[in-house]
Amino acid sequence: MSDEKKLFKVTIDNITIDVEPGTTILHAARQIGGDVTPPAMCYYSKLKGSGGKCRTCLVEVAAGSTADPRPMPKLVASCRTNVMDGMIVKNITSERVQDARAGVVEFLLLNHPLDCPICDQAGECHLQDLGYEHGKEGTRYEFKRRTFEKEDIGPYIQLHMTRCILCYRCTYVADQLTENRVHGVLDRGDHAEISTYISKAIDNEFSGNMIDVCPVGALTDKTFRFKNRVWFTKPVEAHRDCDKCCGKVTLWQRGDEVLRVTARKDQWGEVESYEGKTGWICNTCRFDKKSVKDWVIEGPSKVNRHSVISQGHYVGVSQPKETMPEVMGGRAPKLLMDIHDVSGVNTVNISALPGPATSKNYTKNEQ
Amino acid sequence: MQLTNRAKPVDRQPMTFLESLYLWNILKGMLITFSHLFKRKATIKYPEQKRSFSKVFRGLHVLNRDAEGRENCTACGLCAVACPAEAITMEAAERLPGEEHLYREEKYAVKYEINMLRCIFCGLCEEACPKDAIYLSQTFAPANYGRKGFIYSKDELLIPHPVNDKEAYQKALGEKASSN
């Protein structure tokens, strides 16, 4: 009996679950799933040492454990607090937590430019989701927002420091996935910023994963920059034989064009794991294989129906039978106007461009 | 079976001579016609005279510029995603250094197209726009001989430049300018 592990009983929002000792409150809540899971901006279960910075996952501990049932005096960061046997945690049932979270969102948005109409992350941004759920309508901040010029870090990654919430996820990626990290957080306090040391370009085979772990639009794919909005593209699961990475990706397509390649994300917005290994993808897969021929298509990815990305993506539908050619003796009906002949859009093959389209790609009378 | 009490039996008596002349009935009809000469006309002489639209009328789309004449649209795609008729398409491009006087944000719509054949003038694009870039004006799409003419591109939709072409700009603003 002694080798059988003793499980801890935790109650989160009146739902009791048995978890292994050493589990954090956040992980216990994720095992329950649904609304009781606290949001996490900086914590990333696949990156060692992440978490404890953004404070969005704060929860109230109403009773510490069976042995010591006193409540914890302050709200605790659930990503860094381990569960104890008999712990009672309140997340959505606690008004204190909801109030604190609204405050945290306000802090995160203090210096955020709110340029979602421009930002490529819009539609899959965790800060957007968080603000939608917990944010207030207006800001009470009266001072000038901290601004930075946009920066190119490497040929593939665009850094918008203004949008950064300093979650440190990208530095952990560089530390844990690549051999030498050349970027980090410079300065401190209000002046803290992510940058490369003397603007050194990041050229590492796995540097592209920084884009996937970034919860906001601070690090974005330059090969996808301004090409299309996320909700107009179609996510498709695909794989290829890659000698560097697992090769399992999501292709973001428009028609047959591959506009963007990302790693597959799980329900928590983190990169999926396969057989215990995290499915990070290499830069070759991410940036260079922008053709359907390079990939074996598995099928459309599952998109949460509450996500804007599910807009216009219909699943489980069958195409109705076309009766017109049948009754017209095999002839297709004559179109009075084919929009593709008239439309001025799509004259430039944007997916073939290495970066965002600019006025140089369009002739004067086309603009 | 009687359904209502208003049913009247039809009089099938043959008409008298006076009745068969229809004089009285013709006179009655002419009186009605004559009385209309003195009533208010229901029509106007259209191209010369124009009726004013309601303040909430939703007509032809206009792409807005700010006071300095920079285009407001950032090609965020919210109008296109809100459009129930899927009439709007656009293509985005990055603003280059030196183009700051043309476009307000670092991304702009290099192509913007509205298919007026599909558009149902519901105004959801105006509601969705976070940049105040598109609004529905108080005119309607003019008639055209071909279908091709109803695919409105950006140069047809953009409001005239407020600094370089002040008069046309004020005209394009129309009644919305006075109400604001």
CA distance A169 to A224: 21
Residues of chain A whose beta carbon is less than 8 angstroms from a beta carbon of chain B are: 115-118, 122, 150, 225-229, 231-232, 308, 311, 336-337, 339, 342-346, 348, 350, 355-362, 366-367
- For tokens 């046309």, name the residue: B168
Query: What's the CATH number where A84 sits?
Result: 3.10.20.740
Give A120→chain B minimum CA distance, Å.
9
Q: Are residues A235 and A364 in the same domain?
A: yes
Instruction: Identify the pLDDT of residue A364.
Output: 63
Question: How many C-alpha atoms does A239 have within 13 Å on its Cβ side?
Answer: 11
Note whether A301 and A264 are within 8 A (CB).
yes
Instruction: Identify the pLDDT of residue A306.
Output: 85
Q: Look up the domain containing A318 and give its range.
A: 227-367
CA distance B38 to B124: 44
Look at residue A246 and tell me if it is in a domain.
yes
Instruction: Identify the pLDDT of residue B179.
Output: 45
A360 neighbourhood in chain B, CB within 8 Å: 96
Q: Are residues A277 and A233 in the same domain?
A: yes
| pLDDT of A24 higher than 90 | yes
Instruction: Identify the pLDDT of residue A225.
Output: 92
Instruction: Identify the pLDDT of residue B38.
Output: 94
Instruction: Identify the pLDDT of residue A366.
Output: 57
CATH number of B61-179: 3.30.70.3270
- Mean per-residue pLDDT of chain A: 88
Query: Structure pTM?
Result: 0.83
Note the pLDDT tens digit of each residue in A287-320.
999 999 999 999 889 888 888 898 888 878 888 8
Q: How confident is the model at residue A190 (pLDDT cuts 50, 70, 90)?
A: confident
**For a pLDDT cut of 90, what percent of chain A falls above it?**
45
CA distance B162 to B70: 9
Burial of B165 (0-12, 13-18, 19+ CB in 10 A): middle
| pLDDT of A113 higher than 80 | yes
| Mean pLDDT, residues A81-98 | 93
Instruction: Identify the pLDDT of residue B180.
Output: 44
Q: Does A357 sit within 8 Å of B91, measured CB to CB?
A: yes
pLDDT, averaged per 10 consecutive residues of chain B (180 residues), comes to: 84 88 93 94 88 87 92 93 94 91 92 94 94 89 88 92 88 62
| Mean pLDDT, residues A231-258 | 91
CA distance A262 to A286: 6
Q: How confident is the model at residue A2 (pLDDT cuts 50, 70, 90)?
A: low
Give A229→chain B minimum CA distance, Å.
7
Q: Does A362 sit within 8 Å of B106, measured CB to CB?
A: no
B114 CB within 8 Å of a chain A CB: no
Domain boundary among A221, A255, A270: A221
Instruction: Identify the pLDDT of residue A39.
Output: 93
Pairwise pLDDT comparison (A333 vs B69), residue with the higher score: B69
Q: Are residues A45 and A75 in the same domain?
A: yes
Domain count, chain A: 3
Look at residue A194 and tell me if it is in a domain.
yes
| Mean pLDDT, residues A196-213 | 76
**Close Cβ partners of B14 (under 8 Å, ≥ 6 residues apart):** none
Closest listed residue to residue A41, CA positions, set A114, A123, A113, A108: A108
